[in-house]
Structure 1
């Protein structure tokens, strides 16, 4: 059955984008002729928590002496309970050799994806990453691939900046439109803080394209490629950040006139806080940051329409709120576990597109979105 299902769905990205469960249900009903008999299967039938406990794997947590610390059929629960402690102990037991600290150039040979690390009497798998220490970087090993990847990007960017000291010095005094952007940013932070973010994003865009360098030779080659692009990328970043701040400022100036619509104002203020925070330039994936001017413009369009049809706005807000609550609950769970789910992250940005579709349809969205479509997708994520 499994082989048949894989063969039937292979290459059908449209179906699989909804998660595993919806296409599996469709296949079961079709392949077994159950559609013709009027059968229906819902995603609830595939809830993992509905399985008898003995069908779930039992996980044991063992310390460096071989003693069992805990046991649970939920790996998520084990990670939530012990993850922080394990991370701290791993860091404590594995010290970074001095030759891998205070680095300003790639002097440590090839960087492997995995490393065997002695921890007590055991050898465990660790994930090496460069760590940004300010003016220099260090090479450290992490117990989590996700944490290592996130840390490494920042550390690698710092190492690149160490190779471009003259350019960094030039950018410090020559960021296009910095005075205007600094004034617009005043309610969020200082001009210097914004400038640092713009410079950091410029180097990220110029130097951190995939695949990331893993050898001294690849690092040197990337430096050569990036040098010619830095100026153009800086201009691109400044245009985008300037457009975002202009739209953000326009919306924040509009809001006080709608204080009688308290629920709408509260909803928009929460959205603005999520989008344009103090560190929004570097905290947001660039591919999403590019859409921020449209998201913010959509808020302005929403306000323009509000007085003409407040009932429709209220209904749209209620429809959106249900989906946002589902996402937010799941995102908080993942944050507590220190885990990342790309599908949940993608859904978060689809929710932003949904706001455009609900409140400012004329601005259009790059992908089709609707409440029903996202409800179906969430079911796939939840049970996938």
Structure 2
């Protein structure tokens, strides 16, 4: 059970009701049900929400205080005391369902203007450390979790390491031998590792703190020239970190054929690579090696999250056996890509009409989103194979641009509508390092959509349409 605190001080940041969250439990709390407030303030909150509706809807539920009492009674079985922390309708969704037949028009949760609702009626979230000291508070749980992510991760690790044996808490996997081995070795956190010398990693370690279960997720963390073993606060964070940590360990334990590959490139390939956005050819080949190894790991272990030494050794040996040939293939492909990118740059420069400035800037922006320092490893070998077609699409567009500026403008409007929806959903090109899998998928759907709009004859790698893009964004 979570504690509550109340402060009556109008104007204070935490005026009203606060949920008190132990720092170690903070990452595990979901923002579900808290928007319903406590029963004693719910009528006042509903009143505030009704007054925050657009006038066309609000006029059907006046006086707001009277309607608030009626709605509160109707929603008595849906309050947070029934489903705190569980998936369920938000208060605004529930209210919208009741108001819609009265207003005789569509009403949704987005119609309520939160800025017009008194601040003290929104639940506040207060994180406290093991001594009860306030670590931070915020009306937005996700913001608080993000701001205190480092401290909460440390609190999770300390909570699990503190009780019982030196190895800390209890493993949640059926194989208890691994956690026993971890306990015998001592604390799970280790630094400066260059090989898998820490035994098998349990999936989860947990212990009881403040009446709740603090769950820690062991992870291998990439430190550049070494890796560390750490406890992450969430399973997703541990999986993401371990994917990068395993990649680093394989790179450290498989001899690099970069020099051999560079020495055996053709003259044309050397010329193409010399004009890349990378600092030098060696940096480009190293980035290609990272991309190739990532791809080979994903083939051998689709999740990329390896947790046993035996599995690591197997994948490492498989990578070592095919790395040279795979790296040659990748570097040759990159040379083709860079050659086509220069053709696109020349095509842009050859156009000198001010009327074409808009589409030319659009093509230049598309090119910059694809070809940039680090693009090989961030794109990945699987998607890299599609870049020549994307570049051919730009060249096709440049050929018809001067003769069909009106058609291009219409097509560009079609594309920009989808690009705006992607941007509104939080997407960027290139994607942010922590972008969701859905946003990354849509980022590449947009490239395919460009081909379908501007260079249809080239074909797309998968069916793509505005409907598919919007459906993907809605499912994120």
TM-score range, shorter chain: 0.7 to 0.9
Q: Secondary structure at the match of 1:343?
A: helix
**C-alpha separation in 2, matches of 1:299 and 1:78:** 44
**C-alpha separation in 1, matches of 2:189 and 2:434:** 31
1:130 pairs, out of 217, 220, 226, with: 220
**C-alpha separation in 1, matches of 2:113 and 2:351:** 53
| Residues 1:64 and 2:129 are matched in the alignment | yes
Q: Secondary structure at the match of 2:426?
A: helix
**Which protein is bigger by CA-based radius of gyration?**
2
1:297 maps to: 392
For 1:166-185, list aligned pairs within 5 A.
167-168=255-256, 170-175=257-262, 177=265, 179-185=270-276
2:152 maps to: 90
Distance 1:190 1:106, change over 3 A: same
**C-alpha separation in 1, matches of 2:312 and 2:393:** 41
Asked if structure 2 preserves the Cα contact closer than 8 Å seen for 1:115 and 1:125, the reply is yes
| Residues 1:343 and 2:405 are matched in the alignment | no
Distance 1:211 1:322, change over 3 A: closer
Greater relative contact order structure (CA < 8 Å, 6+ sep) = 1
Distance 1:48 1:368, change over 3 A: same
2:141 maps to: 78
1:237 maps to: 330
**How large is the Cα RMSD of the aligned pairs?**
3.7
Compare the two structures and name the one with the higher helix fraction: 1
1:201 pairs, out of 291, 298, 321, with: 291
1:30 maps to: none
**C-alpha separation in 1, matches of 2:406 and 2:260:** 50
**C-alpha separation in 1, matches of 2:249 and 2:207:** 24
Q: How many residues align?
A: 327
User: Scaled by the length of structure 2, what TM-score is found?
Assistant: 0.60
1:317 maps to: 412
For 1:116-195, list aligned pairs within 5 A.
116=206, 124-164=214-254, 167-168=255-256, 170-175=257-262, 177=265, 179-185=270-276, 187-195=277-285
**C-alpha separation in 1, matches of 2:231 and 2:402:** 57
Q: Secondary structure at the match of 1:228?
A: helix
State the Cα deviation string for residues 236-292 of structure 1 (Å, max 9, x = none).
211321222121111112111124211011111111111112111111243322211
Q: Secondary structure at the match of 1:282?
A: helix
Distance 1:198 1:339, change over 3 A: closer
**C-alpha separation in 1, matches of 2:381 and 2:205:** 30
User: Could you tell me how far 1:200 is from its partner in structure 2?
Assistant: 1.1
**C-alpha separation in 1, matches of 2:239 and 2:475:** 27
1:263 pairs, out of 355, 358, 363, with: 358
1:220 pairs, out of 307, 310, 313, with: 313
State the Cα deviation string for residues 201-233 of structure 1 (Å, max 9, x = none).
122222343144321111112222222211221
State the Cα deviation string for residues 154-193 of structure 1 (Å, max 9, x = none).
22122112222xx31x3234245363343120x4532232
User: Could you tell me how far 1:58 is from its partner in structure 2?
Assistant: 6.9
Distance 1:149 1:137, change over 3 A: same
Asked if structure 2 preserves the Cα contact closer than 8 Å seen for 1:205 and 1:233, the reply is no
| Residues 1:288 and 2:383 are matched in the alignment | yes
1:381 maps to: 473
User: Scaled by the length of structure 1, what TM-score is found?
Assistant: 0.73
